[in-house]
Amino acid sequence: MPELPEVETMRRGIAAIAGSTIAAAVRVACRCRPILIQPRPAALARRLVGRTIAEVGRLGKRVVLRLDSGDRLVFEPRMTGLVLVADPPSEEHLRFRLDLAGGPIPNLWYWDRRGLGSVRLMTERQLADQLGNGQLGPDALDLSADELRARFASSRRAIKVALLDQRAVAGIGNLYASEILHLARVHPAKRCDLLTAPQWQAIHCRMLEVLHKAILHEGSTLSDGTYRNALNQSGGYQSLHRVYDRAGETCGQCQSTSIVRIVQAQRATFFCPNCQRKRRR
């Protein structure tokens, strides 16, 4: 689940660890499905212990710690991962821990209920090879309207499906794509190459609006309660969702039509058939 707003909230929540020195790096014993940790714990600890965290950054849906050695420690939460500086939601799903010295925060935790995420230490070259060179598109918050249109305008894919392509634009996932298109009044199944210039402008404008507002509210904690910020507190943007997971409810924008759920590329999409008409007269 964590998308750009949730991961940016995690990044901001742990930002104070910048300047701290790593005293220990521990793969926490867990009886659940193991997560990917690279390199192996002993080698990872050798390269981490004694290093200073120079910067806390984000790359798409990943939290990235830049070390004084030039290496990057990359946390990828995937569906249920959390990067925390406070007590985790449960002990049984703890996966990884950094002990820190010389700063205000003693520990950084990685918690993952389903075990789909990863913790990887990469050199600068490895990061460029795996997440650069076209592997990951520009961040959604850094993209201009013209750049957004240029990346998608010739595609025959449905706009909702296209927005999920991390090689084209990084950070947008299923939840926020539905919210963006509803506010932009664009049908999620509309082909990219059939969208007009004003529609592209609306999508870009609403993309920035939704993402910034979601960050302001520290992300969305859905009904399963999994997502938490770095202090193990719920996000607040879920109370502002207009269509996501609201199938059958009356659209708050037109006040006349029920929200509909469809499936696109094996993912649930929510929209209002009245506000988001595929063909307009």
Measured CA to CA, the distance from residue 153 to residue 151 in angstroms comes to: 6
Cα torsion through 127, 129, 132, 133, rounded to 10? 170
Phi–psi pair at 178, nearest 5 degrees:
-65, -45
β partners of residue 25: 98
Q: Which of 2, 5, 77, 188 is catalytic?
A: 2
Q: How far is CA 222 from the centre of its chain?
A: 14
Catalytic status, residue 2? yes
Please name the residue that has the structure tokens 């590329």: 265
**Strand partners of residue 276:** none
Active-site residue (options: 3, 6, 8, 218):
3
The answer to whether 138 is a known catalytic residue is no
- Tell me if residue 170 falls in helix, strand or coil: strand
Annotated active-site residue in 11, 61, 157, 206: 61
4 close to 179: Cβ distance less than 8 angstroms? no
Among residues 47, 114, 191, 267, the one annotated as catalytic is 267
CB neighbour list of residue 279: distance below 8 Å, 6 or more residues apart: none
Q: Any catalytic annotation for residue 3? A: yes
Any idea of the CA torsion for 206, 198, 192, 251, to the nearest 10 degrees?
A: 50
Question: Mind telling me the catalytic residues?
Answer: 2-3, 61, 267
